[in-house]
Structure 1
């Protein structure tokens, strides 16, 4: 059913004096889930200039509710006053950057820190204030301060061009005090009703997580979900697994506690009691440790950026939340599940409901051996591999990189073992090499230049040394230098042996076909566990 908010939504334009007054009373607050103030001075100056010119500067969206969210952020550099539990609060859902600039420019005390714009009445231009202001420099923080404004006007009278400057000052103050900014206020909506609105307004630009909103909404004096997540992240940091987000940890807590990552279910966490939540948090911490250990040892994954899907971490956490360790048969089924879901893009575009059901399916298959692994997908064919481009953000490409790592690759050029910890900790394009160099292929007008079947792991220094040298030149040279080790080096890179291909004369299309077959065989074995 579609929930309508008509009747609980007001759209009144307000002047800055009213907004500033509400901020000073503590009625307008910045919820903790909002990103910090990030605007640069030039952005703030442009906003003030637009106001002075009467240009539209967008609207502000507030959520008026009696429910108290988690501790609010400061407004820029300004401390927000505390309010009692009974006073309704207007939380800023959209427009935080603008409202912070407005308060700092027109509402803060002259001695307060922060953005202090002044208007040069002679040059008719705004700039950031300094301690050495001249008489014709008007601090905008005087606009709503009667005494300061009168004193400034008096000082202007000492100047020869006072009449022109007074006229410009009057026009500026009139523009600011007469400006009315559209304020949309959502009144007494539940968190469930606010969540989709919050998602819509933050669908572009810097994405704000709805889970951050939920963490704030589930907060109480005895429970802070976000704090639990941050604690887990800090404890996991020494394990060297980089990039696991607060949002992912929150989902892992949720799947262990209530077997769901759906927003409407997570919102009910606060009803479960502090002891149950605390126990689940501890179980999640241990489950995440074991999941990370497995990802590092079994798949050489050192960072979230190399994990094909966030859902893999959520499902693995659910598995280790159910069992302390896996026997040989369970570990084999886990491998099957991981490789099949990765290469079949099982979780592509997965909804929260799908991830929730998938976590249960993972437990059934991995832990209990129920069902068939074929439901998780199938291994790619050689043709699939040839047609797939190396684009690192794609889940199937990450799976391919991890599959390469399972072959324990060695540099094609010098035979040295590739440092997998370095390669799978942070993505660096120089650690992945076009076996037939990209520049050469472009000159030859070849197709499938970025095919997975043309990509191997190679240390950055060796990659640089190869540069755009044709494969038919640098590979035969490497073959000669490897001597009796050559087939071992090529096998570690899932490349056809020197008895299968003549690398001094092989054409690109034949190479792709033969190597794709080797890779497909290797991946097929991985998918069998």
Structure 2
């Protein structure tokens, strides 16, 4: 923590009763970017037991600010009152689950919703109210600060056969819980930018803080809701099957269009537009139009019908940036977009790339697209035959996604009947049944268990309905059978799948490695043509 932040930090201890009063008054709230209450009864009971034994339960970390985060989550099941905008609010950064349990167990109304516990004086343990019966020896913990109910319970306890012992235990319980203090660390008047890394650090083992979640809370106003903005953009993209675009991707596109940067700092700087709704509306409209153009090109030029097959997020962000600056591209500029896309996909240019790397590419690639001021090779070389032969097909691998798109660009036809494959269906969502092991996986597992079965060059596209027809058949049998059935169409069908021509390759004696050797040159020439941007 920097010295500047340290000067705005205070430490104190607070009684449970005082914390609950602050919660009830709405002075302590949970920011929207916190995860909801998730503790089960066992965890809640263990916390109460720790308090009753005077064990430390950890500190609370609060962020005190007058900068209201208008979208807030209540404490557990409890609806908390609104406070005026002039009052400072303490937002819980760490300790939400513990605070919720303590409020629910001893601060909430006796008949209110949420977790409720009893203390069994006979067994000296806490139990959930929903799983226990009332009795003289069962003290409802929500009566702890209800003076009349507490005194009435103690009086009634005199009727118990072990009244003296239980009253002594009861008095000890009340004393330790009402006297229990929790350390509270308060960060005062920090900005959202300063709080964000602190929250991420202390929450590293929990639900990661999404920058989108943070920005929803930080940019909200009566005129602007980031959730609604993302939903609006998603609805515009829905007819193109891109409606599942994430909020974080939208933020990166907004920052790229506004500031030519995808850095965290520039994304957080979008908060400034909260006070300028018309500027934010203009930015959103411009970004949405550019996104639609980017998606149109991804579909038209690259057969990219779903986010599932997008090699890298950077492709969408950079393409959106280009179209925001230049709504119309010439034929030569479109060719250079294709060169950039295929070369960066197969060379894995954006694999693990930090935001500053993508930011540098925003303006550099726009210059390349508009002017062709550098050679296309700068953005990646065409993969050589050695790397293509070793490439393994995996769902979440960018090269595998690029390979799938490259197959689609050939307008493949089913090996089984020669019918055209609907690539829009095949690539609308990842489904392994739309991809076929030419040397079937089950066949290789049985006959050559040690060999790699998932080489990319052992895959072609095949309609899911046709895949089961081949199943685990021997390729030396099923492929010649299909070739015979296809008759004069065999060469064209195999060529559309980037497979060696039946006229030139003997499939009756096909083995995996020789087949890959025969196929790799065909595939490489196709990828080379794609990387040239000609189609």
Pick closer, same or farther for the CA change 1:106–1:303 going to 2, 3 Å: farther
Summarize deviations over 1:458-485 as a string: whole Å, max 9, x none.
3334334433333223323322332222
Deviation (angstroms), 1:307: 0.9
Residues 1:283 and 2:292 aligned together:
no
1:476 to 451, 467, 480: 480
1:182-331 matched pairs, under 5 angstroms: 182-271=183-272, 273-331=276-334
Larger Rg: 2
Contact 2:110 2:142 in 1 (8 A): yes
Pick closer, same or farther for the CA change 1:308–1:183 going to 2, 3 Å: farther
Deviation (angstroms), 1:319: 1.5
Deviation (angstroms), 1:396: 1.8
- 1:501 maps to 505
Pick closer, same or farther for the CA change 1:162–1:230 going to 2, 3 Å: farther
Deviation (angstroms), 1:125: 5.9
1:329-368 matched pairs, under 5 angstroms: 329-368=332-371
Larger deviation: 22-31 or 194-203? 194-203
Residues 1:379 and 2:382 aligned together:
yes
1:528 to 500, 512, 532: 532
Counterpart CA distance in 1 for 2:13 and 2:518 is: 68
Pick closer, same or farther for the CA change 1:505–1:4 going to 2, 3 Å: farther
Deviation (angstroms), 1:220: 4.3
Counterpart CA distance in 1 for 2:432 and 2:240 is: 25
- Aligned residue for 1:37, secondary structure, equals coil
Contact 1:291 1:320 in 2 (8 A): yes
- Aligned residue for 2:378, secondary structure, equals helix
Residues 1:17 and 2:17 aligned together:
yes
- 1:492 maps to 496
Deviation (angstroms), 1:119: 4.3
Larger deviation: 45-54 or 429-438? 45-54
TM-score, with length taken from structure 1? 0.89
2:399 to 389, 396, 404: 396
Contact 2:340 2:379 in 1 (8 A): yes
Pick closer, same or farther for the CA change 1:413–1:14 going to 2, 3 Å: farther
Aligned residues: 529
Contact 1:434 1:454 in 2 (8 A): yes
- Aligned residue for 2:154, secondary structure, equals helix
Counterpart CA distance in 1 for 2:484 and 2:125 is: 72
Counterpart CA distance in 1 for 2:466 and 2:20 is: 61
Pick closer, same or farther for the CA change 1:164–1:368 going to 2, 3 Å: farther
Pick closer, same or farther for the CA change 1:50–1:310 going to 2, 3 Å: farther
Pick closer, same or farther for the CA change 1:407–1:11 going to 2, 3 Å: farther
Deviation (angstroms), 1:344: 1.2
Deviation (angstroms), 1:173: 4.5
- 1:5 maps to 5
Counterpart CA distance in 1 for 2:140 and 2:416 is: 66
Deviation (angstroms), 1:43: 4.8
Deviation (angstroms), 1:399: 1.4
Deviation (angstroms), 1:123: 5.9
Deviation (angstroms), 1:408: 2.0
TM-score, with length taken from structure 2? 0.88
Deviation (angstroms), 1:175: 5.6
Counterpart CA distance in 2 for 1:425 and 1:98 is: 44
Structure 1 residues not aligned, in runs of 5+: none
Residues 1:139 and 2:140 aligned together:
yes
- Aligned residue for 1:5, secondary structure, equals helix
Summarize deviations over 1:347-390 as a string: whole Å, max 9, x none.
12222222222222232222343333222112212221222222
